Amino acid sequence: MAKLTKGFWEATARIILRNRILILVLIAGFTVFLGLQWENMRFSNSQANLLPDDHPVNLEYQSFLKQFGEEGNAIVFAVKDSALFTPENFKRWNKFSKQVDAFPEVDFVLSTDNLQELVRDKDKNQFVLEPLIKSELDTEEEVDSLRSHLFNDLPFYDRLLYNKESGTIRTIANLDKDIVNTSVRKDFILRDLTNLITDFEEDTGLDMHVSGMPYIRTMNSQNIIDEIGKFILAALGVTSLIFFFFFRSFRATFISMGVVIIGVMWAFGFLGLLQYEITVLTALIPPLIIVIGIPNCIFLINKYQQEVKKHGNQALSLQRVISKIGNATLMTNMTTASGFATFIITDSKLLKEFGIVASINIIGIFILSLLIIPIVYSFMSLPKTKHLKHLNKRWIDTFVNWMERIVRERRISVYIVSIILLVVSIIGIYQINISGSPIEDMPKNAGFFKDIRFFEKEFDGIMPVEIIIDTKRPKGVLKSTTLKSMDQLGEVIEEIPELSKPVSVVNLVKYSKQAFYNGIPKYYQLPTTQENNFIMDVARKSSGNSNLLKNFVDSTGQTARMTTFMKDVKTSRMEIIEARLKENIDKYFPPDRYEVYMTGSALLFLKGTKYLVKNLVMSLALAIGLIALFMAYLFRSFRMIIISLIPNLLPLVVTAGVMGFAGVPIKPSTILVFSIAFGISVDDTIHFLAKYRQELIVNKWRIQKSVYAALRETGVSMFYTSIVLFFGFSVFVISDFGGTVALGALVSATLLFAMLANLILLPSLLLSLERNIANKEVLKKPQIDILPKDEIDINDSDK
């Protein structure tokens, strides 16, 4: 197998170098083809659904949407300023409502401008709708009178259109349900709506607060779009500076930057070709390709320069770059791609698409670097002496000598520190929480996030929670017993501080009774059994009095919905709230007479997060299993598998412990850290063990000498690539999204831990277990020679 592999790479090197022009043309053609796919790229317009389509919770949500339509289609506008209640500003506020309502993207608007109150026509003995504003409001007294009437006499609109305690007033605009999850929504909000808001604020000098799920999703998506360019530039800047610092060559730096830029173009092209939406996860792929691609360039260019310095033959140098480094970089890129590819097995569409595109592009950047770097150098003159000076640098020797001294003299200390880290990390792991908040990772300094907090304070939340009540009989919703049970459940909801006042048909029935008794506020309550028949008869005739409530009872009168809104709360608290609601649902709606279930965006995200965590733990286990099998295939030894996994699993445990102590929760963004970091960090193990295997052969199976030689040889290259990866992933900390910041910081820290573990703990284990592994099984020739016998790492030529 080893001979076959060697022959394959030698043949590959000949094919590449003999067909340079053709290969460059093919790369250019494929790049153009993928570039044409950019027009198919779409940014996500809907909230990420983390559950599979056939999950029971998702089926309930889809059933709700089919029956009552899109739940999160309202945009809300609010002003908290007494200056609003002057004739000029109040007229401008009402004009703003008219302007919003005039857009075809808006279904209807509920505001003071078109507000109608239910009154009783005593002559006809029926309810009629009368405008709240019956004439122009030209004086402050008229405005104050209307304000007093609204705040004190119309409890139906309390916490719906106004907050009596703070004086905040708002307008609700419901978007056309057909455009809520399309790009039309984005264009309308970013262009038309933003201009209207700006004009209002300039005309009045008042601050307008804007929120609602369509608005939040739009502004959040725009932030994702803005960050893609920022990440790409930051990743290119950081990696190019580090690369230049190592090589001190503009030529080598520009070639490497060219390779990864083409890789980024391919990444966008594959997103368009597969017609995947750009989400907060897939937006990370282009900068990831840069960070992961640069180490490939380091290995290939460094090997080329070493060969040139060694014998000065360009053709031979390029042939050896491909035949000797090609296999090593293929293996390491395959393990990295495997870490991402495990996301494909999850049932989450979001993660599956991320895993597919990331793994394809990691293999793509490997192919690009292997083809472009040797071919481009073949057209250039040999590197000058100044380009090879970095090979003679000794500044890194101090670091390598320090590691070797620790491995030689302080192995017991290494094990003690490792065990202490393990124990402390396990304690930290038990403190980790799972987070299911859809707004937790949003940029805290963004205006729209501050408005979320404003509406949470003023109107008790923005994330919809729906309770669907099936009475199992037509017109059962308007029965007294059903209405009373809904009212009792509503009282429970109002007692929960994280939930807003619920809105349902109960509110309309209460309003009908108040209207029946001449609008006296104290009669805003459910009718008694005696009152119910004649009040409800009148109320049915007036059922069209509010567009806002028209969708809260189905056409047969059998099924009703109660809508409340939840603040941004921790998952543990959300589960307590859910349990309390279920307990009271069972209490007020006996299962033998009603079918009741809870749904809505907030609960969907909670269930999705918990489902995702379970799936990602499985994917991480699969990644570990796959890489263990891969190591078994390479080294043919069970003991070597265990030894190689320990220094890669310990950093994951330490990172999880840090998350627990630092209060970083497990959520869709941070759970990715483990599979990504494991897939990348195991590359160092493969390089070290491959070199160790070579040294065993050279040193007649003397383990101590082989370990120290391997440590000296691979230490520098592992340090270089780890530094690139550390700073490369660190660029994500400039993100405005909390999850992306956590992802970047945690992956960077994990890779740093992994480098130290592979350079200190791994050789220590090999030396301590010398007698146990020095047998025929372990010393058997590997299935594949990852690095050929004469392979030299970054500082080989110094020796």
Cα–Cα distance for residue pair 236/240, rounded to 1 Å: 6
Confidence of residue 156 (pLDDT cuts 50, 70, 90): confident
Token representation of residue 121:
């026509």
- pLDDT surpassing 70 at residue 771: no
Question: What are 38-97's pLDDT values in tens digits?
Answer: 888 777 655 666 677 778 888 888 888 887 776 678 899 999 998 999 999 999 999 999
- pLDDT surpassing 50 at residue 548: no
Token representation of residue 696:
């065993």
- pLDDT surpassing 80 at residue 668: no
Give the per-residue pLDDT at 392.
Answer: 56
Confidence of residue 425 (pLDDT cuts 50, 70, 90): very high
Write the CA distances from 117 to 132, 160, 172, 518, 536, integer angstroms. 6, 14, 17, 11, 17
Give the per-residue pLDDT at 396.
Answer: 67
Cα–Cα distance for residue pair 793/787, rounded to 1 Å: 10
Question: What are 451-487's pLDDT values in tens digits?
Answer: 988 988 888 877 888 899 999 888 888 888 898 999 9
Give the per-residue pLDDT at 365.
Answer: 93
Token representation of residue 11:
């043949």
H, E, C per residue of 439-478: CCCCCCCCHHHHHHHHHHHHHCCCEEEEEEEECCCCCCCC
Cα–Cα distance for residue pair 625/645, rounded to 1 Å: 10
Confidence of residue 725 (pLDDT cuts 50, 70, 90): confident
Percent of the chain scoring above 70 in pLDDT: 89
Q: Are 239 and 290 in contact (CB under 8 A)?
A: yes
Token representation of residue 407:
């491995």
Contacts of 128 (CB under 8 A, 6+ apart): 118, 119, 120, 121, 542
- pLDDT surpassing 50 at residue 788: no
Give the per-residue pLDDT at 99.
Answer: 92
Question: What are 343-389's pLDDT values in tens digits?
Answer: 887 777 778 888 899 999 999 999 999 999 999 988 887 766 665 66
Q: Which of 108, 31, 102 is nearest to 75 (CA)?
A: 108
Token representation of residue 540:
């049915």
The 3-state DSSP composition of the chain as helix, strand, coil percent (nearest 5) reads: 70, 10, 25
Where is average pLDDT lowest: 236-240, 704-708, 725-729? 704-708
What average pLDDT does the segment 495-513 reach? 87
* pTM of structure: 0.76
Confidence of residue 550 (pLDDT cuts 50, 70, 90): low
Where does 397-442 show beta strands of DSSP type E?
none
- pLDDT surpassing 90 at residue 27: yes
Cα–Cα distance for residue pair 567/569, rounded to 1 Å: 6
Buried b (16+ CB within 10 A) or exposed e, 658-677: bbbeeebbbbbbbbbbbbbb
* Highest mean pLDDT of the ranges 248-257, 370-379, 551-560, 630-639: 370-379
Written as one letter, the residue type at 493 is I
Give the per-residue pLDDT at 611.
Answer: 78
Q: Are 517 and 523 in contact (CB under 8 A)?
A: yes
* Highest mean pLDDT of the ranges 557-571, 576-590, 744-758: 576-590
Give the per-residue pLDDT at 353.
Answer: 87
Q: Which of 99, 295, 272, 110 is nearest to 197 (CA)?
A: 99
Sorted by where each starts, the structural domains of the chain and their CATH numbers stand as 2-46+219-381+394-430+605-798 (1.20.1640.10), 70-214+444-604 (no CATH)
Give the per-residue pLDDT at 463.
Answer: 81
Where is average pLDDT lowest: 55-59, 517-521, 613-617? 613-617
What average pLDDT does the segment 496-518 reach? 86
Question: What are 527-542's pLDDT values in tens digits?
Answer: 887 777 767 666 555 5
Q: Which of 673, 675, 685, 667 is nearest to 624 (CA)?
A: 675
Contacts made by residues 773-778, CB under 8 angstroms, sequence distance 24+: 773/637, 773/639, 773/640, 773/643, 773/703, 774/701, 774/703, 777/636, 777/637, 777/639, 778/635, 778/637, 778/639, 778/640
Q: Which of 652, 658, 665 is nearest to 750 (CA)?
A: 652
- pLDDT surpassing 70 at residue 738: yes
- pLDDT surpassing 50 at residue 717: yes
Confidence of residue 424 (pLDDT cuts 50, 70, 90): very high
Answer with the residue of higher pLDDT: 67 or 201. 201
H, E, C per residue of 28-42: HHHHHHHHHHHHHCE
Cα–Cα distance for residue pair 137/90, rounded to 1 Å: 8
The H or E element that residue 578 is part of is helix 571-588
Chain position carrying tokens 């669907």: 468
Q: Which of 759, 758, 785 is nearest to 644 (CA)?
A: 758
Burial category of 394 from C-beta neighbours within 10 Å (exposed 0-12, middle 13-18, buried 19 and up): exposed
Question: What are 321-339's pLDDT values in tens digits?
Answer: 887 777 777 877 887 888 7
Collapsing DSSP to helix, strand or coil, 130 comes out as strand
Answer with the residue of higher pLDDT: 618 or 47. 618
